[in-house]
Amino acid sequence: MPLTGSDRPPPAAPALPGDHTVLFDWDLDQFATLVGNCAFDDTVSLSLAHLPRDGLILEAGCGPGHVVEYLRQQGFTIEGIELNAVIVRAARERFPGLRIRLGDVARVDVPDGHYAGLMSFGVIEHFRAGPAEPLREHWRVLRPGGIAVISVPSFTLVRRIKALRRLGVRLGTPRTNRRGHDGFLYEPYPDDGKFFEYRLTRGEFETAVRRAGFEIVHSLPTHHLAGLWLEFGETWVANSERRFTPTRLGRLTDRLGRLWPYFHNHMHSIVARKIS
């Protein structure tokens, strides 16, 4: 099960003007592996099941375009936009037929209702001002009745407990990044230093999606093994090129944890429909 969206903060991920998002570094030598991993990704599976096949699909924040390529192989008409100009240029040079281009997911250069469907995997949480602006743009570029598959990191029970433990250790040393302070609207990660992403509760994410004008079709926790690996490491889950294999301990923890929704999943994914 790969991480096609949020991961641990990458090295050298510079902030853009206004600090509204970050740029990801990608290794194009791993492109074929990334494409292959899509077959095991929860959000890609949701996209295959729910995106329409009778129109153009957009991946907003497509990185090197591996999901674009995978869905193209599955028969979709799809293109991607990505804010990292270096990656876009390098990917297009290496893979000339790849339909990706430079673009900002909050300001897509297309008319209203241009796309039949949209994917946004681990993107909107990187806007320090919150996800409202990119979500409104997702809504704008979709045709009436269009489908969006959107995911963000989940502020799970495990992450809440760990945040409380960190707060206890830091008594007398205030966290620099805290919800409700210095303009942070949701739980920021990391809790000190440079902002990387928000982690949203189920209610926060669903409310943001509805406020943007969408109807929620499905809302569910996803990427459970990735969540165990990120929070507990290799003792629970082995990670080989972003494919996650649980140990016996991890398998038991995953099985028990899934009895409590939003206990240890990495991402929360929503399938939404644009209300005309």
Residue 216 belongs to a domain with what CATH number?
Answer: 3.40.50.150
- pLDDT, tens digit, 9 for 90 and up, residues 246-260: 999 999 999 999 999
pLDDT given at position 169:
53
What is the Cα–Cα distance from 168 to 178, expressed in whole angstroms?
A: 14
Q: Is residue 102 situated within a structural domain?
A: yes
For range 158-166, the mean pLDDT: 84
Give how many domains the chain has, as a whole number: 1
Q: What is the pLDDT of residue 18?
A: 44
Considering the domain boundaries, does residue 214 fall inside one?
A: yes
Is 109 inside a domain boundary? Answer: yes
Residue 93 belongs to what H/E stretch?
helix 85-94
What's the confidence (pLDDT) of residue 6?
40
Q: Give residues with Cβ within 8 angstroms of 249, minimum separation 6.
A: 235, 236
**194 touches 11 (CB < 8 A):** no
Residue 3 inside a domain? The answer is no
User: What's the rounded Cα separation, in Å, for the pair 151 and 171?
Assistant: 33
- Residue 142: give the domain boundaries: 17-274
Q: Is residue 124 part of a domain?
A: yes
Q: What is the pTM of this model?
A: 0.90
Say whether pLDDT at 242 is over 90.
Answer: no
pLDDT-derived band at 41 (thresholds 50, 70, 90) equals very high
Q: Say if 12 falls within a structural domain.
A: no
- 4 pLDDT band (50/70/90 cuts)? very low
pLDDT single digits (tens) 53-63: 999 999 999 99
Is the pLDDT confidence value at 265 over 60?
Answer: yes
- Phi, then psi, of 52 in degrees rounded to 5: -70, 150
pLDDT in tens, 179-225: 878 889 999 999 888 899 999 999 999 999 999 999 999 999 999 99
pLDDT in tens, 115-144: 999 999 999 999 999 999 999 999 999 999
In a domain, 49, yes or no: yes
Instruction: Report the candidate in 113, 195, 116 with the shortest Cα–Cα distance to residue 148.
Output: 116
DSSP annotation of 14: P
Structure confidence at residue 165 as a pLDDT band (50, 70, 90): low
